[in-house]
Structure 1
Amino acid sequence: MAGKKVQRKLSSAAVELLNNKPMLKTERPILGLDIGGTNIKAGVLVGSELVDIRMIETPSQESQEYILETIADLIGTYLHHDFFAIGVGIPGLIDTDLGIVLNLENIPSFKRVHLREFLELRFGKPVYINNDANCFALGEYKFGAAKIYKHVVGITLGTGLGAGIIANGHLYCGFNCAAGEWCSAPYLDQDFEFYCSSKFFYAKYHAKAKSLSKRAKDGDKEALRAYAEYGHHLGELIKNILYTLAPQAIVLGGSIRKAYPFFRESMLANIATFKYPSVSANLKILISELDETGIHGAVALVDEYAVPAEPVEKSI
């Protein structure tokens, strides 16, 4: 019995250490960019802290050349930090081998953009680019609540629906970053993005998710019903993920996560109907607590791919 108590104490100490320290392989400065259709955010990871966080408006309707120069101008203001590499998170499909952004819905001119080549030629530093939802999952695994799990799916709930996969402790992207695109999977008369993003509230309740959340806090019955229905649909998505990957944990991010108390019960009730209780009963649902998930994910991308792992000592 004494041995078991010691083991529990050691495990708790290990968990506490993981919760307080990012799972990084380097402490060298890294610049992270979170490029979206509305804003571009940037920050530098120094040690284990993000510093000098800035945001500019995305000139989304301008030409590709103009937008690239806008990004370069922002990066240029960070050169005094002497960062060794740049990580970029951006929506859409990415050819990660060549660093090409294949398309970006909210920025019409961003089609087949050789972003890595442009930035590496301009700044002479390695650049790593990936889908923003993949970056979110990796950022949560490196910095957030998912550190203690090897198999994780990160889901972003907002204007759209995104997902990233951590498999056996590493980011899994699939071909052209298309892995985890449950948003486009058919569901009912639409797809999962329609029912698990803010589109659902617009279409079914003619209101914004945020305004319904405020009404739900005041006990408004229609708002509470809207979120209960939303939770049921999200539970269906999570069951699909369980059948596909059987992760240990799912991390919810995006603006809708803040309304979690209003859709938690119906979501969990649906998950409880999953065919394999040994999987669903052990699933951990985590809510992101990172303030700058996009930037965290971008710098985590550099740490994942640019920094070699510690060599393993082989016994003779």
Structure 2
Amino acid sequence: MKHLIGIDIGGTTIKGGLVKDRDLIKQTVRDTEADKGGEITLMILEEIIDRLKTVETTGIGIGVLSVVDSAQGIVYHVQNIRNWEEVHLKSILEEKFGLPVFINNDANCFAMGERIYGLGRQFENFVGITLGTGVGGGIIQRGRLLADANCGSGEYGEMPYHGGKLEEYCGSFFFTKKNTTGREIAFKAEKGDQAAIEIMNEYGKHVAALVKMVVLSVDPQAIIFGGAISNSLHLFKEAMYRNLTDFPFPNSIKKLSILKSELQNIGILGAAALCYEL
């Protein structure tokens, strides 16, 4: 039986939770107060952990929107938190709380959360992709996060594409550059609006390019999509598959499972799941 703390450090809030086995039994949310400086944010983080920690707690997992030295537990250039250019978070928190601390970026946390708590339990090799403001990915191989040098594997959104990068076509910017939002287009497409349906079909074409990059790089059993835009998978799935018919290795697509995450509170659960790397 595991009692774990999961912490999701976002741009404006810190979400924390106590996870018992597979159940989130307690959670809390605080503003990062990042404009006051990183020292204040660190104090708030410590207060959240102190509030969640029990005598049965065995580990702390933390997900951040930044570059991470996951081995040393150092976070670099955390978005929207002033003065968090290089924070030795693992050593700071382990010294304070006397528990093992695991830190990784948010996309890797998503993949680990799926592996431990979600649809990823049925796959030894899969890629978790978040479709939201950005496009991030975490690669699971042989049941574990892919070991890499700089915590940068799976960042498919940064791949060059159409003179820009893939994130501009598979993230929310695809919709904002059309003076709309993904939610608005999804709503209209559900109602049968032809223009919205065409936009969703165009989006599906770009997601097909993302799928091709994933399969050509790591050839997984499955791709599990998360993030706000993934809720519209049923609206762009047909177009996505239509644009995968020219893939040079058709059996790879035929065998590939493309799924949408079913997890709630994935940021907290994904962070807690890092402790399973023990």
Fold conserved (TM > 0.5)?
yes
Q: What residue in structure 1 maps to residue 181 of structure 2? A: 208
Q: What pairs with 1:209-228 in structure 2 (closer than 5 Å)?
A: 209-228=182-201
Q: What residue in structure 2 maps to residue 188 of structure 1? A: 162
Q: What residue in structure 2 maps to residue 249 of structure 1? A: 222
Q: Is the 8 A contact 1:62 1:109 kept in 2?
A: no
Q: Is the 8 A contact 1:29 1:81 kept in 2?
A: no
Q: Report the secondary structure of 2:223's partner residue.
A: strand
1:131 to 86, 105, 123: 105
Q: What residue in structure 1 maps to residue 45 of structure 2? A: 71
The alpha-carbon distance between structure 1 residues 176 and 213, as it changes in their structure 2 partners (threshold 3 A), is: same
Q: What residue in structure 1 maps to residue 242 of structure 2? A: 269
Q: What pairs with 1:25-40 in structure 2 (closer than 5 Å)?
A: 27-40=1-14
Inter-partner Cα distance in structure 2 for 1:252 and 1:140? 10
AA in 1 matched with 2:236 = F
Unaligned runs of 5+ in 1: 1-26, 307-316
AA in 2 matched with 1:278 = N
Q: What pairs with 1:1-316 in structure 2 (closer than 5 Å)?
A: 27-80=1-54, 82-203=56-177, 205-304=178-277, 306=278
Alignment RMSD (CA, Å): 1.3
> TM-score by structure 1 length?
0.85
Inter-partner Cα distance in structure 2 for 1:259 and 1:296? 22
Deviation at 1:61, TM superposition (A): 2.3
Inter-partner Cα distance in structure 2 for 1:109 and 1:267? 42
Q: Report the secondary structure of 2:104's partner residue.
A: strand
Q: Is the 8 A contact 2:37 2:81 kept in 1?
A: no
Inter-partner Cα distance in structure 2 for 1:74 and 1:64? 15
The alpha-carbon distance between structure 1 residues 101 and 250, as it changes in their structure 2 partners (threshold 3 A), is: same
Residues 159-193 of structure 1: CA deviation (Å, up to 9, x unaligned) = 11110000122111411211111111100021011
Inter-partner Cα distance in structure 2 for 1:217 and 1:294? 28
Q: Report the secondary structure of 1:241's partner residue.
A: helix
Q: Report the secondary structure of 1:226's partner residue.
A: helix
Deviation at 1:69, TM superposition (A): 0.5
Residues 77-110 of structure 1: CA deviation (Å, up to 9, x unaligned) = 1133631210001122101121100122333432
> TM-score by structure 2 length?
0.96
AA in 2 matched with 1:201 = F
The alpha-carbon distance between structure 1 residues 32 and 184, as it changes in their structure 2 partners (threshold 3 A), is: same
Aligned length: 278
Inter-partner Cα distance in structure 1 for 2:48 and 2:61? 14
Q: Is the 8 A contact 1:165 1:173 kept in 2?
A: no
Unaligned runs of 5+ in 2: none
Inter-partner Cα distance in structure 2 for 1:162 and 1:116? 23
Q: Report the secondary structure of 1:56's partner residue.
A: strand
The alpha-carbon distance between structure 1 residues 149 and 288, as it changes in their structure 2 partners (threshold 3 A), is: same
Q: Is the 8 A contact 1:163 1:180 kept in 2?
A: yes
Q: Report the secondary structure of 1:257's partner residue.
A: helix
Inter-partner Cα distance in structure 2 for 1:183 and 1:133? 11
Q: What residue in structure 2 maps to residue 14 of structure 1? A: none
AA in 1 matched with 2:23 = E
Deviation at 1:240, TM superposition (A): 0.9
Q: 4+ residue stretches of structure 1 with deviation over 6 A? A: none
The alpha-carbon distance between structure 1 residues 109 and 197, as it changes in their structure 2 partners (threshold 3 A), is: same
Q: Report the secondary structure of 2:75's partner residue.
A: strand
Q: Is the 8 A contact 2:7 2:62 kept in 1?
A: yes
Deviation at 1:274, TM superposition (A): 1.0
Deviation at 1:155, TM superposition (A): 0.3
AA in 2 matched with 1:229 = E
The alpha-carbon distance between structure 1 residues 106 and 199, as it changes in their structure 2 partners (threshold 3 A), is: farther
Deviation at 1:299, TM superposition (A): 1.2
Deviation at 1:125, TM superposition (A): 1.1
Q: What residue in structure 2 maps to residue 23 of structure 1? A: none
Q: Is the 8 A contact 1:164 1:173 kept in 2?
A: no
AA in 2 matched with 1:62 = K
